Amino acid sequence: MTNILHFPLSAVVGADSLKLALCLTAIDPKIGGVLIEGPRGMAKSTLARGLADVLADGPFITLPLGATEERLVGTLDLDAALGEAKAQFSPGVLAKADGGVLYVDEVNLLADHLVDVLLDAAASGINRVERDGISHRHSARFVLIGTMNPEEGELRPQLLDRFGLNVAMDDQPQPVERGEIIRRRLAFDNDPEGFCALWEQAQEKLRQRCQLARDRLQHIVLDDDSLAVITERCFAAGVDGLRADLVWLRAARAHAAWRAADAISTEDINAVAEFALRHRRREQPPQRPSADQPQPQSEAAGSSLSTGQGQWGELPAQPQAMGHRREVPSWPKKP
């Protein structure tokens, strides 16, 4: 079977906030996945596929828009169950995605009951199939990534809230950045293996960083001081329910693990604030906070995730041709 090569996440130009959100939910899948909003042509699927490589052996599974519930959750053979006194289970998409990435393009066009099933499995890490009193359950630990174009319809607020993090890709890249994006895309299309080899060192650093963060995560306490700050800010933002508080706290801890810290700090809380609040707040915060107020996520994350010497590590120079050119332990490997 031919190994499918994905465009390396470390080679993506810009999109630092989204790259950070994807890595955080890979560090702690209990965050509940990432919903990416933006118009067509913003490389949403490229970034989602790039995460699968960061997870090393994890599969990348796409849920087709026309999928049925049986295809999603799997099926039970009742005749076999009656004859052999045990359920014969045919795995669905959720089973195939275990330990990897489950990608749902245009999730806002998916039937609501299927979105419910997806989000339940993403939150619990378990898929349970039951029919006529016979049941089967299996592990379904995956990073859920959904994309949507708001111009084509919205998700119901109840479903929107259940996505852990939300990132909007609505900024048009500048001309120089656009040119570099096209050059890298053409280089990858022309020679996927060579392009991936060029970026392998940067990819390996990213894999190691995510793995070390997953190992560190369980040793970082979800402390009362951080929770108090978060609950106050959730209250000020007028969010409905309590999911924002929990997701924000988990994401802040994942961010602390990402930067190899031993405890959650104000830096971590600020860095993930917009991810947790964007799709939940009822009142927009001030556009320009005073100097003694926390900085917006876009500034905090952007300054720490550069494409050069920053947290993504030393990236390779472009070749001449391109000039023209549980908490949550690491997932067990499958046998």
Q: How confident is the model over 238-291, as pLDDT tens digits?
A: 988 889 999 999 999 999 999 999 999 999 999 999 999 988 877 554 444 444
Of all residues in the chain, what percent carry a pLDDT higher than 70?
79
3-state secondary structure of 242: coil
CA distance 107 to 159: 10
Whether 243 is a known active-site residue: answer: yes
Q: How many CB atoms lie within 10 A of CB 279?
A: 22
- Residue 314 burial (C-beta neighbours within 10 Å; 0-12, 13-18, 19+): exposed
What is the pTM for the complete model shown? 0.75
Of all residues in the chain, what percent carry a pLDDT higher than 90?
35
Q: Is the pLDDT of residue 234 over 80?
A: yes
CA distance 172 to 162: 28
Q: Is the pLDDT of residue 7 over 70?
A: yes
Q: Which residue has the higher pLDDT, 95 or 322?
A: 95
CA distances from 303 to 85, 159, 209 (A): 59, 31, 18
Q: How long a stretch of residues is the chain?
A: 335
Catalytic residue among 162, 209, 233, 243: 243
Domains of the chain: 9-198 (3.40.50.300), 220-304 (1.10.8)
